[in-house]
Amino acid sequence: MSNTAKIIIVLTLITMISGGVLALLDNYTKPRIEAYKEKVKNAAVDEVLPPNDRVEKIEKGEYQFYVAYKGNDIIAIAFKAFGGGFQSKLVLMVGITPDFTEITSVKMLEQVETPGLGTKIEYDPANKEKPAWFTDQFKNLKTQPEITYVKNVKPTKNTEIQAITGATISSKAVVIILNEHIAKAKATWESN
Amino acid sequence: MRNRTVIQEFIKGLWEENPVLVSLLGLCPVLAVTVSAENGMAMGLAATFVLISSSFLVSMFRKVIPGQVRIASYIVIIATFVTIADRFLAAFTPDISKSLGPFIPLIIVNCIILGRQEAFASKNNIGRSLLDALGMGVGFTLTLLVLSSIREILGSGTWFGMEIMWPSFSPWQVMILPPGAFLALGCMIAGANWINRRRKS
């Protein structure tokens, strides 16, 4: 057997076996990974929506809206907002009133910001009682005309939040993502 | 190499030829993921799993794989095991998988693993290759564990998530940032060199 033929046969065999093994493995692990993602998302939807009778999923444009009903009235809507942070992609679950003027709650789904600084937008270990104080600030925050942030002082307006010291860019990114996606989601939701 | 005893084949990875402290291989994940002891441990174990499995296969097929395509073959074998490790972590320990992020897939290009295939597994029998891989893997894991423990204890005041420092201790934030990784690793390498030099003289 010539050396060229040997090279082709060996490499082909190795890659085929590798592909086969990985395909089998994927079959086995995929449902678990999907189930976990679904669980995280559902938990986030439950967390950002106020107490309700039922939640309905509606797809419109590029958004998936999770609509919370009480009786026949829509009391709140949840959707995913995302964008660039300081060094990673930020994904947030946002709960908002049906007229998009007041946030019910915000939950961080994904972020890989600077450990110890930017990660405080999700979890601040220094604040023992309220480690998620940053996203908690968005509860009942008004969104019109727009959300703004202040540094090192307490917020005074009902559209203001306080940025994290040492992580202004991450804090600012959250505000920008929210403003942008609330406007876009509102336009999508109201269009038919 | 043939004159080493079986025990020595395993022991050399722990100290004498420690992949991180002596060979300075695979430093990228070493510096990046060691912000907490849990991450360091998970990274070390995942790399050890890939190293042992790859060494086994590479050693087994060392006479079949043509020399010209050996690196390509090693990479495919390594990548297969890395993907297995990555999918398993994502399915069974999603939190660790999330915090290690892209560094698990990057084990593929970790020079410790490719280096051991090229330098050892492709020239030695299965038994010795497994011992070599096990020693290197344990050495890598232990080094990561010590480094990540130093960084987590000083940088967050915790160890494996448990509070262990006194209440008034203020964490040295720099230790969990990239510069802290260089500082801690530098001190560890200096310490290892100092001990080695004293042992020699």
Which residues 111-170 of B are in CB contact (within 8 Å) with A? 155-156
Which stretches in chain B have pLDDT values below 70?
Answer: 1-3
Long-range Cβ pairs for the range A171-174 (8 Å, 24+): A171/A121, A171/A134, A173/A83, A173/A84, A173/A85, A173/A86, A173/A90, A174/A85, A174/A90, A174/A92, A174/A121, A174/A134, A174/A135
d(CA B197, CA A151): 52
Q: What is the residue range of B170's domain?
A: 6-200
d(CA A94, CA A164): 20
Question: Is B190 inside any structural domain?
Answer: yes
Q: Chain B residues with CB inside 8 Å of A29's CB?
A: 87-88, 90-91
Work out the angle at residue A179's Cα, subtended by the Cα atoms of residues A178 and A181, and round it to the nearest 5 degrees: 65
Residue B151 to chain A, least CA–CA distance (Å) = 12
Which residues 11-30 of A are in CB contact (within 8 Å) with B? 11, 14-15, 18, 21-22, 25-26, 29
Question: Is B172 inside any structural domain?
Answer: yes
Selecting from A6, A25, A112 the residue whose C-beta is nearest the C-beta of B87 gives A25
B156:A112 CB<8 A: no
Q: State residue B2's pLDDT score.
A: 54
Residue position matching structure tokens 């060979």: B23
d(CA A164, CA A167): 5
Phi-psi region of B101 (alpha: psi -120 to 50; beta: other; left: phi over 0): left
Which stretches in chain A have pLDDT values below 70?
Answer: 1, 192
Q: State residue B201's pLDDT score.
A: 82
Q: State residue A181's pLDDT score.
A: 94
Question: Is B1 inside any structural domain?
Answer: no
Q: Chain A residues with CB inside 8 Å of B176's CB?
A: 115-116
A117:B173 CB<8 A: yes
Give per-residue pLDDT as tens, B57-100.
999 999 888 888 899 999 999 999 999 999 999 898 888 888 78
> Position A55: which residue type?
V
B66:A10 CB<8 A: yes
d(CA B164, CA B49): 30
Which residues 31-70 of B are in CB contact (within 8 Å) with A? 35, 64-66, 68-69
Selecting from B65, B79, B83 the residue whose C-beta is nearest the C-beta of A10 gives B65
pTM for the model: 0.77
Q: State residue A1's pLDDT score.
A: 65
Selecting from B94, B171, B173 the residue whose C-beta is nearest the C-beta of A36 gives B94
Give per-residue pLDDT as tens, A78-123.
999 999 999 888 999 999 999 999 999 999 888 888 777 888 888 8
Residue A146 to chain B, least CA–CA distance (Å) = 32
Q: State residue A118's pLDDT score.
A: 84
Residue B50 to chain A, least CA–CA distance (Å) = 14
B73:A36 CB<8 A: no
How many structural domains are present in chain B?
A: 1
Nearest to B116 by CA among B6, B7, B5, B25: B25
Question: Is B77 inside any structural domain?
Answer: yes
The H-or-E segment that residue A56 falls in is strand A54-60
Q: State residue B147's pLDDT score.
A: 93
